[in-house]
Each structure stands twice: as C-alpha cells, then as structure tokens.
Structure 1
Amino acid sequence: MLEGKKILIGISGSIAAYKIISLVRLLVKQGVEVKVIMTSAAKDFVSPLVLSTLSKNEVLADIFAENTWANHVQLGRWADVMLIAPLSCNTLAKMANGHCDNLLLSVYLSATCPVIVAPAMDEDMWHHPSTHRNLELLKKDGVMIIQPGHGELASGLFGDGRMEEPENIITYLSNYFNKNKGRLAGKKVLVTAGPTHEAIDPVRFIGNHSSGKMGIALAKECRDRGAEVVLVLGPVALPAEYAGITVIKVTSSDEMYNACHDHFKKVDIALMAAAVADYKPEVVSEQKIKKAGDATPELKLVKTKDILKSLGAIKNDRQVLLGFALETNNERANALEKLNKKNADFIVLNSLNDGATFGSDVNKITIFTRSGAEIQFDSKSKTEVASDIVNTILDHTKTLSI
C-alpha cells in the first residue's frame, strides 16, 4: 500500500519519540523511502544514529549545518507527505503561529506537500483551551491531525494525549494514500481560482477581493487524489507554485478565458472557482488618467466573456463542469438558474447571508446537481470543503467511470 512513497518524518521533543524507531522500521519494511528531521529537544529522547541506521538516510537537525542549509526548501518538495510525530505542545504552538527557529519548522513552513501531525502530551496540556485553539489554526491551514489516544501517560496518569501507536499511524497513512490515489488517478482536471483584474489604465483596474483559497484547495485535493491538475490562477497574494500542479498565471478575464479554452477539451473535470469580473472598461487608456480640474471622467463598461457558459456550450457527455454562485438574495433560485443556463453539472452556492466572505479560511456551501439533488454542508475549512466537493462529484457522476 505504501511501497514507493516518500515520507518525511519530523520529530519534536516528547517522550513519545521512542515510538518513531518502530514507525521508521515498519515504513522501511513496506518499501517507503523515509527521511527524518529532529528538533534539538528530540535528540534527548531518541538517538539520531538509530534513526539514520533504520531509515538508511542521514538524520538532519541543525539548520545552520553546511549540509542542511538548503534542505528546508527541498525536503518539503521531495516528500509525498510530511508527518510530524510526536507533535509536542511547544512545536504545535510554533506551527500555529508561524514561528521558524529550527529546521523542522523551516521545513514545515516551506513544504508544498500535505502535512499530517500526531500530537503527544499530558492530558491537562491536551485539554487546555490554547492547545485546541492552536489545533484549529492548523486545521484551517490544511494540516491533518491524527488524534491521540487514551492510555498511560509519561506522568503516570491515565488519560487523553497518548500519541497514536505506530501500527495505527501506518493504517492512517495507508488510508490517506488509498483515498487520495485511486479515484482520480488518470483523470485530468482544470481548476480556476482567484479574481481577475480588468485594466482601466496602466495603474488602475476593476476587480474583487477573491483570495483564490477555495480554488487552490480544490486543485490540491484533486492532485492528492491522483489527478493531473491545471490551475488557472488570477492575481492573488498566495504562492503561485504547488508541487504536482501546473499553474497558469493570468490577470484579465480574457486571459483566463483563453487559458481555459486551451485546456478544456483535454480534461475530464473542470472546476470554475474563480471570481471573474462581470464587466470591464470598453476602452483601456494607454496612459494614467489624470485628475483634470473639476471634470469627472466617464467609464463605459462592457460585459466580460462568460467562461462557465462558454465551456458548458462545448462540453461533451463525458466531461463534468462545476461552477460557483456567490449570492446575496434569492440564493437557491439564482443558483438553480445558473445551473441550467450555464449547462453545468454542479453549482456550489455560497451565500453572504451564511457568512461567506472573500479571504476567509472557512466556507459554508450548498451543492446543486443537474440530477436535482441539493446537498447542504456545515461551515468548514476550505480544505474540508474541497474534499466535500470532490466527493459529491464522484458520488453523483457515472460518466467518470470511477
């Protein structure tokens, strides 16, 4: 199940670090390529020599060592997944708040691969409000959490906070790769994300506050399930490079339209999550428009090209097309109208009345399907929402032959 995978294990300072010896041995036995990084505190609990012998790779710990300086960038790109186990309360707090004072944290902050953590701490620490506040921040960042178990703790007490056993971590990893591998393996997916900027002059534009987070989460979800993903990304403040995803950066609606049509005929699924401007200036000034006395310039607008509708007009019976509808009133009626007019297979409704806002890390959606289903979801992180959307497509689509 795990043969051929590349797993990067980060070990923080916790007595549970002794379990990683067994975990590394089991992973290597299954044909996994394992690399290990440690905090300085972790070396007090488990020997780097033991782990390097079992993993057959040098264990790294010092960010300033000559042979590790560039690894904080390369390791997170090399791995299929980064597993931080045990995750101490201290390292959890640093991760949640973006601290970067050791090699493990440097790798985490620069990693483009999925990240899984297995917390380990005493029961009172585990149940402290700040711990759960930090865990929620990690969840919003897309980090997956292997919940600790109940049992004997280092303090001698029995309670919650005991790091999950190596065998169960193996099962979690196997389930993760199985879930994410098979169902979209061999499929091609087109995703749009972010806003478009429609130029008024060289320094001004018409746009919106879309962050691109939802579309990027969808692209990552499809990638993690084995799909070949093309992401057409508008101008956003987020990173524009993601391992295993082909990113096409665009600015205007015309550029996004052209990029989508260049790739649409080759894909099985198209997820149109971008917030494309509805209008653009009819004429773009070649020079910056200056204030001139009391005169007020007039700006004549024309409609932009409707990307979703244009793709719906040419899609074949084997393709799946999904669009988004952000509504402020008559939400359900407007979403259903869009579903039919655009010839989409799915419409994802975001309502401002449900608290939907540009730039948020959470979203609350309702999905309408061409077959007449209406599926409502609770408010969740956008990573979880992306998983719900992909699951809904797979559950309601026979043409994908999955």
Structure 2
Amino acid sequence: MTLAGKRIVLIISGGIAAYKSLDLVRRLRERGASVRPIMTRGAQEFVTPLAVGALSASHVYTELFSREDEQDVGHIRLARDCDLIVIAPATADLMAKMANGLADELASTVLLATDRPVLVAPAMNPKMWAHPATKRNVATLAADGLSFVGPMAGEMAEGGERGVGRMAEPLDIVAAAERLLDDAPKPLAGRTAIVTSGPTHEPIDPVRYIANRSSGRQGHAIAAALARLGADVTLVSGPVTIADPQGVVTVHVERAEEMRDAVISRLPADIAVMVAAVADWRVAASAEQKIKKKPGEAPAPLQLTENPDILKTVGHHEHRPKIVVGFAAETENLEDNGRAKLERKGADLIVANDVSPETGIMGGTRNSVKLITKVGVEQWPDLSKDEVADRLAQLIADRLAGA
C-alpha cells in the first residue's frame, strides 16, 4: 500500500469540519501510516486533543513555546521528520498565513520550516472561499507547489446555506495523499486524455427525458486510472450519482450535443476513451412546458432525431488522438457488432460488453469485456470495474510507448 510506513503530520485548524479529522486519522492509520497531529487553538474548540491523541496513538502538539516539545527544537523536527504534511481542515486564516509567510504559532511555523510535500484540504463558508483575498492566497500556494483536495459543494454547517466550501471527505483526502506519495512509474506523464462517462439525458419536456441505466462507474474508474499513470485527464460526465474522481478535471453535461462540444473543445489530445452511453436519439423539438395527459386521448407521438456520434467524430477528426478507444454495450452478437463499430467509428480499440439485464453490468460494479482490435479479439476475465480500468490504462500506456 502507498501509505504503509509513511509518516504524516496532520495539522487540524479551527473549523467545524475539524470533526472529520478524527475519521481521517483512522483512515490514514488503517493504511499503515503513522500520524503526528498538530492542533491550533481554534481546532481545540471543536475537537479535543484527548480524542485526537487516542485515535492517532501519538502525542498531540499544540504549542510553539512548549518547554517539553521544544527542548530539541520540536517545530523543526515536526517539519522535517515526515513524508507529508496534511492540513485538514485548512481555514482561510491559516492559508492566509501560509501565503504570506507568517509564523506566529506552531502550525504556521512548521509549514514555513518544512521542505516536505503539503496537501491542503480547505474548509470554510462559500463566501469566504470565493473572496478575492482567498483566491489570491490559494493561487500563491499553488504556485509555491502545494497540492489541494477540495473544497466540495454542498450544505454548510450554518443552516440553509449551500455552495463550495465543504472539506473533502476523509477518503478523498487519503486518496490524494496516496497519489502524492506514490513513487510508482508514471508512463503517461506528459500525456493528455479525454474520457466520457455516464448517460446523457435528452429532454422531452421540462420534467421528462430519454436516458439509460449507465451509472458512470466504468468511465469514472478509467479516468482515475489514467490519472494514476500520470496523464492529464479531462472527464466529460453525463448526469451520475457518483462522486467526481480525484486528480482529474471533470466537466458536467446533460445532453449528447453538450458532451460532443465539451470533447471537441479539448482536442488535440493523446488519448480518447469514449465510455459514455450516449443516447442515440433525442426529441426533435422538446416542449417548453410539461406535456399534459388528456383523458381518453393517446399521447402525441414523439418525433426523434439522431444524436451526434461522438466516437465517430473523434475517430475521424483532424486532431484525432493517437489512441481512440470506444465502448460497445450490446445485448446480442457482441463480437460482430464490436468489429463493425471498430471499423465504422475509426477507433483503435473497442471494449465490448454484454449488458443484457441478467449480466448486471449496466449499473453494477463488475464487468466482463472483450477487447476488439483489427488483429483479433481478447477475452478478459470477470473483473471489478476498477480492475478493468487499471488494465485498460496500462494497455494504453504500453501502446503509446510502442508507437
């Protein structure tokens, strides 16, 4: 595991999200990391050093001018005797101190003295996050080489307020820490990739739409796998209920035409993996008002028109990526339909799977796929969608290396 044996200093600053730091400590230790906590005075108003110390099995550092801790210049030891410093939550105040090089208490002093990677998990009111001063400080810290995870959008602690400012969930922070400390080879470093994922929703009227059962799990997993191998990934996602993968830029769309435009706007790229289950048709003219049911009358027929073929557009584009991968979700004649799609769409590889209801693949967590190329068909065993993503990402990396 990436975090096994790693030494992490966790700085907890004074925000309501500090309660999540307790779970974060547990998650880090589950993965084999040791955690040395630093708590600001504000943090101690929300969670106690006793609780943090019990979960971390470590002494909790709280004061810069501690006779006991500073006998051996403790703040320098904390700053250097670690593999990573995580700040969760990171308040606007602490980030302002960091951006301006202030060091008037233990946390800010350790951060000024460190030469180790720093991962920042901001948490604050949405208006504080959007304030020009905070934006300047975040830009400064990013330019200084610090990494960020979050903040996320959602409900705030203060009732009735929503927006961007929630601290990333502990598992997201753990995943970001793993990426920072992952010293495995990055064969796709310097490469750019576009991945599509999920369904599209084609409106019939303001409350109804044409869609399918795609969950987006496979596309999201592939985007994350490519990012783990070092690629700069843009994920164009239709409407899904799963979280955006960490380490990629996610663009949210609803309709097939929006997805096509988002993909084309990001060409040229080295890799395109078109996983999204794009609706083949849309209503020619969606109603501006809800279509009302009339007693005793049959519904008016829907006039359908064909949606843009995103895979074919990319496969024949003047800025065609070096590797173009398409997905074929079929219920019959899997190989024949996959081969025809490979030729028709201009793809290098088709990942074909049987999505008949009895397979449980559409919307499920596992997948059984066949890889179809111009030279043959390769059957993969039944795998989790994450395992399929890792295999496919490595295959893409190998093909680019041999190009």
| TM bucket normalised to smaller | 0.5 to 0.7
Residues of 2 paired with 1:288 and 1:349: CA distance?
38
1:225 aligns with 2:229: yes
The residue number in structure 1 matching 2:265 is 262
Matches within 5 A, 1:31-46: 39-43=52-56, 45-46=57-58
Aligned to 2:249, the other structure's residue is in SS state: strand
Aligned to 2:204, the other structure's residue is in SS state: strand
The residue number in structure 1 matching 2:183 is 177
The residue number in structure 2 matching 1:164 is none
> Are the structure 2 counterparts of residues 62 and 238 from structure 1 closer, same or farther at C-alpha, using a change threshold of 3 Å?
closer
1:292 to 278, 291, 294: 294
What CA RMSD, in Å, does the superposition of the two structures yield over aligned residues? Answer: 4.4
Residues of 1 paired with 2:373 and 2:283: CA distance?
34
The residue number in structure 2 matching 1:391 is 394
- Alpha-carbon distance, 1:196 to partner: 0.6
Q: Residue 234 of structure 1 aligns to which amino acid in structure 2?
A: G
Residues of 1 paired with 2:372 and 2:248: CA distance?
27
Q: Residue 241 of structure 2 aligns to which amino acid in structure 1?
A: A
8 A contact 1:72–1:106 mirrored in 2: no
Matches within 5 A, 1:309-324: 309-314=312-317, 319-324=322-327
Aligned to 1:208, the other structure's residue is in SS state: coil
1:363 to 364, 367, 388: 367
8 A contact 2:87–2:120 mirrored in 1: no
1:108 aligns with 2:170: yes
Q: Deviations over 1:279-318 (max 9, x none)?
A: 1112211111001122121112221111111111225676
8 A contact 2:197–2:238 mirrored in 1: yes
Q: Deviations over 1:218-275 (max 9, x none)?
A: 11112222211111111111234x54422221111111111111112x2010010111
Stretches of structure 2 lacking an aligned partner (at least 5 in a row): 11-23, 38-50, 62-68, 95-118, 124-141, 150-166
Q: Residue 384 of structure 1 aligns to which amino acid in structure 2?
A: E
Q: Residue 183 of structure 2 aligns to which amino acid in structure 1?
A: F
The residue number in structure 2 matching 1:278 is 280
- State TM-score, norm by structure 1: 0.61
Aligned to 2:312, the other structure's residue is in SS state: helix
Q: Residue 175 of structure 2 aligns to which amino acid in structure 1?
A: C
Aligned to 1:291, the other structure's residue is in SS state: coil
Q: Deviations over 1:144-203 (max 9, x none)?
A: 9xxxxxxxxxxxxxxxxxxxxxxxxxxxx97x4323x2x111111111111111111111
- State TM-score, norm by structure 2: 0.61
> Are the structure 2 counterparts of residues 6 and 280 from structure 1 closer, same or farther at C-alpha, using a change threshold of 3 Å?
farther
> Are the structure 2 counterparts of residues 115 and 332 from structure 1 closer, same or farther at C-alpha, using a change threshold of 3 Å?
farther
> Are the structure 2 counterparts of residues 336 and 227 from structure 1 closer, same or farther at C-alpha, using a change threshold of 3 Å?
same
Q: Residue 290 of structure 1 aligns to which amino acid in structure 2?
A: K
Q: Percent identity?
A: 31
Stretches of structure 1 lacking an aligned partner (at least 5 in a row): 25-37, 82-104, 117-143, 145-172
Matches within 5 A, 1:145-160: none
Residues of 1 paired with 2:27 and 2:260: CA distance?
51
1:210 aligns with 2:214: yes
8 A contact 1:186–1:228 mirrored in 2: yes
8 A contact 2:120–2:147 mirrored in 1: no
Aligned to 1:56, the other structure's residue is in SS state: helix
Residues of 2 paired with 1:355 and 1:310: CA distance?
30
- Alpha-carbon distance, 1:386 to partner: 0.9
Aligned residue pairs: how many? 296
- Alpha-carbon distance, 1:39 to partner: 4.9
> Are the structure 2 counterparts of residues 14 and 286 from structure 1 closer, same or farther at C-alpha, using a change threshold of 3 Å?
closer
1:247 to 247, 250, 253: 250
The residue number in structure 2 matching 1:129 is none
